[in-house]
């Protein structure tokens, strides 16, 4: 339950961001310098000269001064800033698909420890349009359909701290990325709908999959909002919540449904969310317990070498706290 003395205070600081007037990806982005791009090319050449692959590269292979400084700046923005950052200007055409994957992997290693994203143990996952939905609304990362607001791996025992999304090839049309701050949502609910905020601090059933074995419990209980070492965090995936209740043969209460409806209405408010298209050579990094994200449907260009390709990383930080905010 929420504690009146602590949990009813609004959250101050850059993590509780909202946008008024013109919303721009540019103000939340950094552009790689010429020197930084040259260093990335050097890293790729040295890894190639050592005949290393994605399976054999190590963190030390990326320990170059500008890359280390970039990772430190990203970590600061994710932990103590808005909770997300777009890096622009990766030379993906010159690097090619395989070397772009290695650079993406390297940045993830400098930020923490990449986590497996499925039972095969894949730590770098290609998000691309490879199959039809076939009526399965839960697993959409290999399709071109829209993806609703969510946290990644909401069902996991250890939810990824960071998510990295590296665009190698953009879609012909669509595929917009949408972001919303969990702290801004908290503040808006606290101010306008406190009864729903209280409900969202209570545990919901959630369907598990992807990284659990057949003998593990398929449903867990998790709240949407909670406090981690004093920091308000959020994890949410309505489809998994509804499927969890279906598997257990239990109905959501009217209070639970109304709270999620209210939360999603706030997520879609234009003063709270940010929407933009990622371009080839851009990498979005976000704090997975502070930022919810979504994606619109997209249409690919004709030919496999021109279709949308985005690499995804789940990253566990070396320290366990949710960040320095209070």
For residue 247, give the 3-state DSSP assignment.
helix
From CA 312, how far away is CA 204, in angstroms rounded? 27
Radius of gyration of the chain (CA): 20
Question: Exposed (0-12), middle (13-18) or buried (19+): which is 241, by Cβ within 10 Å?
Answer: buried
CB 176 within 8 A of CB 296: yes
Check: CATH 3.40.190.10 for 4-316?
no
Distances (CA, A) of 203 to 93, 230, 290, 326: 46, 18, 18, 22
pLDDT digit string (tens) for 255-292? 999 999 999 999 999 899 999 999 999 999 999 999 99
**Separation CA 276–CA 207 (nearest Å):** 30
Number of helices (H) and strands (E) in the chain: give both, helices first. 8, 17
Q: What is the pLDDT of residue 5?
A: 39
Report pLDDT for 133: 55
pLDDT at 131: 65
Give the CA angle between residues 176, 178, 180 to the nearest 5°. Answer: 175
Nearest residue to 164 via CA among 48, 74, 72, 62: 74
Please tell me the predicted confidence (pLDDT) of residue 3. Answer: 42
Burial degree of 234 (CB within 10 A; 0-12, 13-18, 19+): buried
pLDDT at residue 325, rounded to an integer: 43
Widest pairwise Cα distance in the chain:
61
| 122, 129, 209 from 117: Cα distances, Å | 6, 18, 10
pLDDT value of position 211: 61
Q: CA–CA separation, 197 vs 287, rounded Å? A: 21
In 3D, which of 157, 159, 160, 263 has the Cα closest to residue 220? 157
Instruction: List the domain boundaries for the chain.
Output: 4-316
309/166 Cα distance (integer angstroms): 9
Other beta carbons less than 10 A from residue 122's beta carbon: 12
Low-confidence ranges of the chain (pLDDT < 50): 1-5, 22, 320-326
């Amino acid at each position: 339950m929420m504690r009146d003395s602590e949990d009813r205070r609004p959250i101050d600081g850059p993590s509780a961001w909202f946008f008024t007037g013109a919303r721009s990806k540019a103000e939340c982005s950094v552009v790689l310098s010429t020197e930084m791009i040259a260093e990335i090319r050097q890293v790729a050449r040295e890894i190639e000269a050592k005949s290393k692959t994605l399976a054999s590269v190590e963190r030390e292979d990326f320990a170059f001064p500008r890359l280390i400084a970039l990772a430190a700046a990203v970590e600061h923005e994710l932990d103590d800033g808005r909770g997300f950052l777009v890096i622009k200007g990766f030379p993906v055409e010159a690097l090619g698909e395989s070397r772009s994957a290695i650079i993406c992997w390297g940045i993830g290693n400098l930020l923490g420890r990449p986590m497996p994203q499925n039972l095969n143990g894949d730590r770098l996952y290609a998000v691309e349009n490879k199959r039809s939905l076939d009526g399965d609304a839960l697993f959409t990362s290999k399709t071109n359909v829209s993806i609703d607001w969510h946290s990644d791996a909401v069902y996991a025992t250890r939810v990824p701290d960071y998510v990295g999304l590296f665009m190698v090839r953009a879609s012909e049309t669509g595929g917009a990325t949408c972001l919303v701050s969990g702290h801004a949502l908290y503040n808006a609910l606290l101010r306008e709908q406190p009864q729903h905020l209280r409900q969202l601090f209570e545990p919901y059933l959630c369907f598990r999959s992807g990284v659990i074995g057949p003998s593990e419990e398929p449903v867990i209980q998790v709240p949407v909002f909670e406090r981690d070492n004093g920091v308000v965090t959020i994890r949410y995936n309505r489809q998994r919540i509804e499927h969890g209740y279906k598997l257990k043969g239990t109905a959501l209460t009217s209070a639970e449904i109304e709270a999620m409806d209210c939360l999603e209405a706030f997520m879609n408010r234009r003063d709270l969310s940010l929407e933009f298209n990622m371009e080839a050579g851009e990498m979005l990094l976000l704090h997975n317990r502070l930022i919810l994200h979504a994606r619109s449907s997209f249409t690919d260009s004709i030919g496999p070498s021109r279709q949308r390709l985005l690499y995804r990383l789940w990253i566990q930080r070396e320290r366990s706290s949710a960040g320095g905010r209070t």
